[in-house]
Amino acid sequence: MRRRITFVQRPDTPFSLDQAVLTPDALSIHELDSVREERATFSFDELPSELWDVLKQCHQLHIRWASEKRYDTVAPFSSRVSPGLHVFFTPVADSSEENKLCVSIGLGYGCALLKRVFDAWLKCTNPEESFITPPILSTRFASTAAFQYHSLLPSLDNLVTYIENKICPSSDQECLRHAASIRSADSVDINYDSISHSLTVLGYWSRSPGKGWTDEIRKHPAGTDQVEVGLLGTEMATEPEDIKMGGLLGDVGKDDQLSMLYSGLLKPALFSFPSRHHPLPEDATYSISFTSPTGLHPIMTISLPPSSLKPPPAPPGATCALHTYLTLPSSIFGDKYQLSTTDPLFLNSHNLAALRAVAGETDLEAPDWSVSHWGSNWLLELATPAEFDQVPPEWNVTVPLHLRYLPPSESGYRSAAVPWPVVFWACTAEDGTKMGVNPFDRVNLGWEGLFGTRTMFYQLHPSSDRLVEELEVPVLQLNDEGFFQSKVIELGTVIAIGLGLLWVLWKLGLVARSSEPRPQNRNNKQEKTE
């Protein structure tokens, strides 16, 4: 297992050289106040066979998980995804029948594995039914995975348990400690692709625990795998596309010669690189709410203060537009015909500019229980005030949505949890900007693949502590105590229909009787009695 640990400090955070001491075997970190990114790369022999069985069916597999709790981001880790578990994967491209079978077996196994690793209650039967296929804008770059899945997942406890039981050797305390540290991560990425044949797990912690990170980062026990460490801070970059980082770098267990030169210190470094994701000031925020009462047609409101509407510090000549990317569970959906309209009245009244992309479950009528896909994704371009100096105190963008019918419940209500969307500026970058050279580059987030590869993103910060909205959905009320149980509804309907039918038949019978051809005298008699 190769490791790369990066600590990034905010500019105003104090740092003294004795907080990081390098010895030939380890790097000791003492009360370091910083964000932390940890990257572990596994080769196949380090993984259990049940993982390998699924991975070998994949051309690419990318898992993104983000906490439901708000966390801060710092350059170069500025990108965000909606809270929950995102899975993107592309099966191996092979059209032979035999291989298709293998792939589908692998796929069928994929859901079982996801459930075992992340949560036994995931709404996932098999990828072909549960996953959605995102629109692929450019097959040439293939920046979007073929299948995509999302589910809310409040914690990674299950993943930690899985790693502890299946990956860590039971005596390896270091491994168990690493696994447990995932519990406090704000976001976790897992990447696999068939070219590198290795699995990378990335954790991101936006805050240090207590007084700061205190850790002893040891070299690899056998000394074969790298353990890289960086203590960095961002500097003012000269080019707007670039991020400049400065600080200390080290390779634990390898840099002993160099470290001697600096008498037990790390080597200083200053480097810059073009970046896809750029930070925005802290006051560039957004908040999500649903207009009350939500009814069956909830309206999602994205509220933006003036500071969020200020165009980002993009290179001169770049065109920028504000976007949102919604990740909606199957219980809530947009009407793609309503949202893709070009009617300026509709768009202006919602402060929307256009629907740019939609993928997933967009059936307008189906109840939730008959929908197999996990849900849908929507990329919307948002309108911004025409003149920046005439920005209202709060700019509200509204997205009209609709609820599916949910199964009956005892209370007459069910909850639908909707993750907050991400909101960001997307700006065109100069030709020739190579984002891939960024050692912290992050792709396969779902939304970034819908833009050209040279687009720059500036993400707004969510402003609430919990990034999931709970909607109350009215459903049919069924309980054991009330009068209106399913038997009563069934019987009541049958009786009503039956009585109605009898009433009409009775009326028809009266007509038929009175018009029956009868002997004249009987007819007269009847008329008399009437």
The residue among 161 and 349 lying less far from other proteins, judged by its C-beta, is: 349
Residue whose token pair is 């590869």 = 453
Judged by CB under 8 A, which stretch of 95-103, 157-165, 265-273, 365-373 contacts other proteins?
A: 365-373
Q: ω into residue 76 within 30 of 0, thus cis?
A: yes
Q: Which residues contact 339 (CB under 8 A, 6 or more apart)?
A: 352, 355, 358, 378, 380, 399, 400
Position 504: which residue type?
V
Q: Tell me if 330 contacts other proteins by CB under 8 A.
A: no
The residue among 129 and 490 lying less far from other proteins, judged by its C-beta, is: 490
- 188 DSSP β-pair partners: 65, 203
Q: Are 467 and 84 spatial neighbours (Cβ–Cβ below 8 Å)?
A: no
The residue among 101 and 501 lying less far from other proteins, judged by its C-beta, is: 501
- 271 DSSP β-pair partners: 245
Buried (b) or exposed (e) across 342-371, using 16+ Cβ within 10 A? eeeeebeebbbbbbbbbbbbbeeeeebeeb
Q: Tell me if 311 contacts other proteins by CB under 8 A.
A: no
Q: Shortest Cβ distance from residue 382 to other proteins (Å)? A: 17
Q: Tell me if 470 contacts other proteins by CB under 8 A.
A: no
Radius of gyration of the chain (CA): 30
Q: Shortest Cβ distance from residue 479 to other proteins (Å)? A: 10
User: φ and ψ at 167, to 5 degrees?
Assistant: -105, -45
Identify which of 59, 86, 240 has the alpha carbon closest to the alpha carbon of residue 152.
86
The residue among 151 and 294 lying less far from other proteins, judged by its C-beta, is: 294
Judged by CB under 8 A, which stretch of 74-82, 251-259, 277-285, 361-369 contacts other proteins?
A: 361-369
Q: If binding means CB under 8 A, how many residues of this protein chain bind other proteins? A: 54
Q: Tell me if 141 contacts other proteins by CB under 8 A.
A: no
The SS3 of residue 355 is strand
* Binding residue (CB under 8 A) for other proteins from 369, 436, 437, 524: 369
C-alpha–C-alpha distance, residues 12 and 9, integer Å? 8
Binding mask 475-494 for other proteins (x = CB under 8 A): xxxx----xx-x--xx-xxx
Position 221: which residue type?
P
Q: Shortest Cβ distance from residue 394 to other proteins (Å)? A: 20
Q: Tell me if 473 contacts other proteins by CB under 8 A.
A: yes
Q: Tell me if 518 contacts other proteins by CB under 8 A.
A: no
User: φ and ψ at 243, to 5 degrees?
Assistant: -120, 135
Residue 502 Cα distances to 162, 466, 488, 507, 516, angstroms: 64, 58, 20, 9, 20
Q: Shortest Cβ distance from residue 505 to other proteins (Å)? A: 6
Q: Tell me if 260 contacts other proteins by CB under 8 A.
A: no
Identify which of 268, 184, 214, 216 has the alpha carbon closest to the alpha carbon of residue 25.
216
Q: Shortest Cβ distance from residue 411 to other proteins (Å)? A: 8
Pairing of strands 277-278, 455-459: parallel
The residue among 369 and 388 lying less far from other proteins, judged by its C-beta, is: 369
Judged by CB under 8 A, which stretch of 74-82, 304-312, 426-434, 495-503 contacts other proteins?
A: 495-503
Q: Tell me if 503 contacts other proteins by CB under 8 A.
A: yes
The residue among 211 and 513 lying less far from other proteins, judged by its C-beta, is: 513
Q: What angle do CA 261, 265, 266 make, to 5 degrees?
A: 100
Q: What angle do CA 410, 411, 417 make, to 5 degrees?
A: 105
* Binding residue (CB under 8 A) for other proteins from 173, 345, 431, 465: 345
Binding mask 395-434 for other proteins (x = CB under 8 A): ----------x-xx--xxx---------------------
Q: Tell me if 170 contacts other proteins by CB under 8 A.
A: no
Q: Tell me if 346 contacts other proteins by CB under 8 A.
A: yes
Q: Tell me if 474 contacts other proteins by CB under 8 A.
A: yes
The residue among 283 and 410 lying less far from other proteins, judged by its C-beta, is: 410
Q: Shortest Cβ distance from residue 443 to other proteins (Å)? A: 32
Extended beta strands in 420-465, E state: 422-428, 455-459, 461-462
Q: Tell me if 526 contacts other proteins by CB under 8 A.
A: no
Q: Shortest Cβ distance from residue 228 to other proteins (Å)? A: 52
C-alpha–C-alpha distance, residues 398 and 336, integer Å? 15
Q: Tell me if 184 contacts other proteins by CB under 8 A.
A: no
Q: Tell me if 333 contacts other proteins by CB under 8 A.
A: no
Q: Quote the DSSP letter at residue 509.
A: H
> Which residues lie near other proteins (CB under 8 A)?
293-297, 337, 345-346, 349, 362-365, 367, 369-370, 405, 407-408, 411-413, 472-478, 483-484, 486, 489-490, 492-494, 496-498, 500-501, 503-508, 510-512, 514-515, 517
